[in-house]
Amino acid sequence: MKKISMIGGVIILAIGGIVAFSKYGKKAPITSQNPTTKWQYEKTIAEPLKAKTGKENETKLGDIGVNKVAVAVAKGSFDGEMEINLATPEKVPDYDKNEIDVLGSPIEINAGGGNARLNEKALITFKFDPATLKEESDKSKLRIAYYDGSKWEYIKPEKIDTQNGTMVLGTYHFSTYGPASVNNQGVVTAKWIHTTAVGSQLTGNLNGASDQAAEKIMAMTMDKMGIVDKSARDKVREELMKDPSYQEISKFYGTGDPYEAHKKIAMIVGGKIAEHIPKVFFEDAAKRYAAGESPGDIQALAKAAGYAAEGQYKDAAKIIGEQIADKFLITTAGKIAIIVAQSQIDSWKNSEVEAAYMAYKQGSLAFFYGYDVDKGDFDSVWDQMRGIRRQLEIEAIEKENNARIEAGMKGLTDEQKDAIRDSVKNTFKQQFKLREEKEAQFAAEEERLRAIVDAFQKANFFDSTLGPSGLDKGFDYENKLDVLWHFAQKMMKDTKRGEITDKTGLLVDGKLSLEDLVQGTRIYFSGEKGKDEYAKFLQDRFGIMMYPKLADLAGVWKGTSVTTDMEIPDEVPQTVKDELKKEGCEELDFDKIDWEDVKKNAKSGIGKEQEAQFSLSPSGETGGTITGGSGKNAQAMPFVYENGVIRATMTQKGVVATISLTPSVEGSAYKMSGTMRASVVNFFKATMRLSLTKQ
């Protein structure tokens, strides 16, 4: 761990570093970027406030009415008892008046007289004058200024109450804070560009997406085999990640059919399990099979055990990779991996995650977000992340648990939750390392985003009067940035031009010109017919058909249907009784029917995949007939094809069904995805997710 020696301190002072001492004696470097204005403020806390917190008690300091600030420190925030100190500092570093307007008095808060990381989130509530918000849009400018040891950072509050004039920050560390409002759009833009560039690059296959999927397939396969030993899992993971066949898959992961990639990964996982898992695990499976338990999977395990015992690892791998890791497991594992991976990428928007990376990249002497670590020491960073680390783990566990239950699987066991915690650590360790190695790519992405934002600004897109009418929907500045960036990504995908250029014309090395991007965006957000006009623009400008021709979609479509939601009203039992009596079934003893069990059975199909089939018969360019099912169960209904979406509705004998499908072309294959909603009056409502491929 880094420590400041006396000689080191002299050297720092000699080269012009400035060291100030807080009221509590802790050294903290004070060097402000472009100091222009002293923070003038009232000393709302006349004398420092002190209180002790521990594992069993919550601590509150300050009064929002008297001190204009209140701090709540949750119980268990520290491993033992700790004294919390809250004060109005004698002075704080200068701020840049061209970036923010200060809205009140700053505070200094510390634990035991020094900086510290917390196990639980502390809440800091600042009071401000609501009259400073002259317009509704000014609410989005509110920030809490945080001094990180060398400069002021501006963090968006978690909660804002404009009526009472309060804003709340949740933090896992103590430092100097103050209420403020951003007065420079450039500050917000720079922050947005940075966080968006990080997310974009991590999503762009720098996040080890294949590793996420591989680890999830491995974990779920071993769960199914009953292998919970951590050392065994770690060994399989280690061997899997360095396998040449897997490394080849990871190079091209995301460019083809994910299911095919996952099948190949499952086979490699099967081989590693067969070769490196102790025979006792297989022997136990064989014994259970001999005893007549769970004949399906246990029989497969017993066969794999026999092959593994004879050293026939390829045969054992085939059984594990095809029978144990069946289609349902592989598909579910892939979906869970995508959900969890995207959640972890989104977490980089959290200033705490970004701060942890910066501490890892540069090292810290306890002033920067409370970290005291050497450069590149990920394990120490992860350990000191404390509360934010726990939050990341909880979110990953919750998302995976929900995805499993939705798929009809059992909830996570304690052992599986521990495995997820290990996986979260491995993921962020990999992301920290990759980001450090790819800093040049991240910088290039920031430049690209800056060029796009500049183009939209020059075209007055953020002006409510001069900008596109469809974009002015009450969005604040950051919301508009998000919307425009998502559309820019869409247009690059639509035109198959993944890069941006400031050159004009069609022949720009396969890149999308900023001029065309601005024009296409303005057309798309021009009003009710914007989408149709945008499709025409792509056809006229680039010769690109926005949506597949309906004639090309004619034929048979097969795929899967998954029930995602089902609602059964409480009046169903009485409705059933009435209907059965109408049909002459009065001799049935309705009182002996367990209606809760009936409901439970009806909902047991939620999350389970079923085969689905449709036939599409166009009668023109904008509609036709769609037929669901086959043979005697076939049901036809008319559909319309508009803005690239197939919509159909049927009402018959109390049954209402609606279908919404979006077709796409992937290589030479036509695919459709969407939803079907069905309801029977007074009986049920159900929603199904459809995924189909043209045969």
Can you name the residues that pair with 645 across neighbouring β-strands? 642
45 has a pLDDT exceeding 80: yes
pLDDT band at 546 (very low <50, low <70, confident <90, very high): confident
pLDDT band at 410 (very low <50, low <70, confident <90, very high): confident
pLDDT band at 337 (very low <50, low <70, confident <90, very high): confident
pTM beyond 0.85? no
- The answer to whether 51 touches 61, Cβ cutoff 8 Å, is yes
d(CA 522, CA 516): 10
Range among 451-455, 589-593, 637-641 rated most confident? 451-455
Question: What's the 3-state SS for 42-87?
Answer: CCCCCCCEEEEECCCCCEEECCCCCCCEEEEECCCCCCCCEEEEEE
Question: What's the 3-state SS for 135-146?
Answer: CHHHHHHEEEEE
- pLDDT of 118 reads 95
Unique residue bearing structure tokens 């200060």: 102
List, for residues 137-178, the tens digit of each pLDDT value. 889 999 999 999 889 999 999 999 999 999 999 999 999 999
Q: How far is CA 567 from CA 29, 563, 573, 590, 680, in A?
A: 60, 11, 14, 22, 11
d(CA 571, CA 16): 78
CATH topology (fold) of 550-694: Lipocalin (2.40.128)
Phi, psi for residue 582 in degrees, rounded to 5: -60, -30
Higher pLDDT, 595 or 319: 319
Unique residue bearing structure tokens 């899997």: 240
657 has a pLDDT exceeding 90: no
Least confident of 23-32, 87-96, 186-195, 626-635: 23-32
- pLDDT of 598 reads 65
- pLDDT of 249 reads 87
Indicate the SS3 state at residue 218.
helix
- DSSP line for 558-592: EEEEEEEEEE--TTHHHHHHHHHHHTT-TTS-GGG
10 has a pLDDT exceeding 70: no
Higher pLDDT, 631 or 412: 412
Question: Is the domain defined by 6-183 classed in CATH 1.10.1510.10?
Answer: no
Dihedral-angle region of residue 127 (phi above 0 means left; psi in -120 to 50 means alpha; beta otherwise): beta
Closest CA to 2 of 430, 420, 545, 367: 367
- pLDDT of 203 reads 78
d(CA 557, CA 671): 8
- DSSP line for 329-390: HHHHHHHHHHHHHHHHHHGGGSHHHHHHHHHHHH-EES-STT-EE-TT-HHHHHHHHTHHHH
582 has a pLDDT exceeding 70: no
List, for residues 480-539, the tens digit of each pLDDT value. 999 999 999 999 988 988 889 988 766 667 889 999 999 999 999 998 888 889 988 998
How much is the average pLDDT of 300-320?
Answer: 79
9 has a pLDDT exceeding 80: no
List, for residues 666-686, the tens digit of each pLDDT value. 767 888 888 888 887 666 788
Phi, psi for residue 159 in degrees, rounded to 5: -135, 145
